[in-house]
Amino acid sequence: MVHSPYLPNTEADRRAMLAELGLESVEDLFRDIPEKVRFRGSLDLPPALSEPELLTHMKTLAGRNANASEWALFLGGGAYDHFIPSVVGHVIGRSEFYTAYTPYQAEVSQGVLQTIYEYQSLITRLTGMDVANASMYDGASAMAEAALIACAATRRKKVVVPSTVSPEYRETIRTYTAGQRIEVVLAPYDGETGTADLSELEKLVDGDTAAVLLQHPNYFGCLEDPEEVSRLAHGVGALFVIGVDPISLGVLRAPGEYGADIAVGEGQPLGNPLSFGGPYLGFFAATEKLIRRMPGRIAGATVDKDGDRGFVLTFQTREQHIRREKATSNICSNEALNALAAAVYLTVMGREGLVEVAKLCLHKAHYTRERLSALPGFRTPFRAPFFKEFVVSGPRPLEELNRSLAQRRMLVGPDLGRHYPELEGSFLVAVTEKRTRAEIDGLADGLGGLA
């Protein structure tokens, strides 16, 4: 006998319902499954746990993970330990939001729709772009979809990507473009600066190029020259797609100002916890011209029958549920709750707060780099300006360094050798506003002893 708090039908209910249906047993409801494919065994899964047992088990599993509440994480590579204001968790914990789904019935979904509209507005203000959608799965898939949109818009089949774009993004772009036989051309980086080699890039970008994809700050944390890459791309009629760290936009110029056609990025830093890699959100913003090619949901303002303001899903003829094989993307469920978290975060931080967060990151990162580069045996190989993350090459493998740092409950990384063999022995260090001077000095002390 199964007793579950989530199953309200009692045995008496079941009997009564079956009787009303003129059936003898529940089995009769499964007669349409042919015997050949009928599963007759019992699923080999662990037996049910009661709520207290479940809590104990889950706490045991959670207890075996180094986490940001007890560790000073200088880890980067696309996910960052930024501060999340308490209000964010409070709002996304409202079950009117989190137990809803895509707002198909607008009249009873004004909460979700208005928050999406506000989220889109916040993202356009942050990026300086005209329009934004309601979210993509993450930064990597957002950039991959941007590549597909660029190919569709230009009717070309090649995208050029400098190797300073995150390796995980590049792998995602490859998977997304493989089926459509889109060529992904890798452009090298300059080993001195740690940024895309512009003269090499210029040679690879031509009249067949649908888009140049850049990340800024790039995977090494270095600032690229987006203005120049934008010019390069537009010079051959290609689109310029940029991936940005939203926090950096507190101090760095907005993509709209240097001519980006599509601006995407990982929205995790905006109020979303690290969560071992997800759920995060990809933000996706573009110029007005591209609105009918955008992937995913878009909320728009309109009026109701009485002339009052209200919000609906709009431009739905782009989407799979209307256009099927002619849709601009196959995305359906997105990362709405993470986008809501981002909207609340940007609202809480506001005009001044985002600048302040960005500056804290910037100053602390620069202080950290100064401390680490002064340590014997450690070098910071790239000289391009950076924001909150930078490359360090150490005297020993990262694994060893981290094993020692772990005793101080600190970690740096990831290692760069796996994706950049020439950078064997180098790793990333990311510094958010959460890192204190004591932690940074502790990191320098910890590493200093390992030369």
Ligand X SMILES: Cc1ncc(COP(=O)(O)O)c(C=O)c1O
Task: Report what 63 binds from another protein, ligand X, none; CB cut-off 5-8 Å by kind.
Answer: another protein
Nearer to ligand X, 244 or 298 (CB): 298
- Residue 286's nearest CA partner among 149, 379, 177, 390 is 149
Task: Report what 137 binds from another protein, ligand X, none; CB cut-off 5-8 Å by kind.
Answer: another protein
Nearer to another protein, 68 or 236 (CB): 68
Task: Report what 451 binds from ligand X, another protein, none; CB cut-off 5-8 Å by kind.
Answer: none
d(CA 208, CA 221): 30
Q: How far is CA 159 from CA 170, 200, 355, in A?
A: 11, 15, 33
- 157, 207 in Cβ contact below 8 A? no
Task: Report what 439 binds from ligand X, another protein, none; CB cut-off 5-8 Å by kind.
Answer: none
- What is the nearest approach in angstroms of another protein to the Cβ of residue 79? 5
Nearer to ligand X, 275 or 330 (CB): 330
- What is the nearest approach in angstroms of ligand X to the Cβ of residue 317? 18
d(CA 314, CA 331): 15
- What is the nearest approach in angstroms of ligand X to the Cβ of residue 101? 9
Task: Report what 312 binds from another protein, ligand X, none; CB cut-off 5-8 Å by kind.
Answer: another protein
Nearer to another protein, 90 or 203 (CB): 90
- What is the nearest approach in angstroms of ligand X to the Cβ of residue 357? 33
- What is the nearest approach in angstroms of ligand X to the Cβ of residue 411? 33
Q: Which pair of structure tokens corresponds to residue 353?
A: 């707060």
Nearer to ligand X, 141 or 347 (CB): 141
- What is the nearest approach in angstroms of ligand X to the Cβ of residue 179? 18
Q: Is 136 helix (H, G, I), strand (E, B) or coil?
A: strand
Query: How many C-beta atoms surround the C-beta of residue 54 within 10 A?
Result: 11
Task: Report what 56 binds from ligand X, another protein, none; CB cut-off 5-8 Å by kind.
Answer: none
Nearer to another protein, 81 or 190 (CB): 81
The one-letter amino acid code at 375 reads L
Rg of the chain on CA atoms, in Å = 25
- What is the nearest approach in angstroms of ligand X to the Cβ of residue 34? 22
Task: Report what 105 binds from ligand X, another protein, none; CB cut-off 5-8 Å by kind.
Answer: another protein
Query: What is the contact surface with ligand X in residues (CB under 6 A)?
Result: 332-333
The DSSP 8-state label assigned to residue 47 in this structure reads P
Burial 306-330 (b: 16+ CB within 10 A, else e): eeeebbbbbbeebbbeeeeeebbbe
d(CA 451, CA 446): 10
Beta pairing, strands 389-393 & 131-132: unpaired
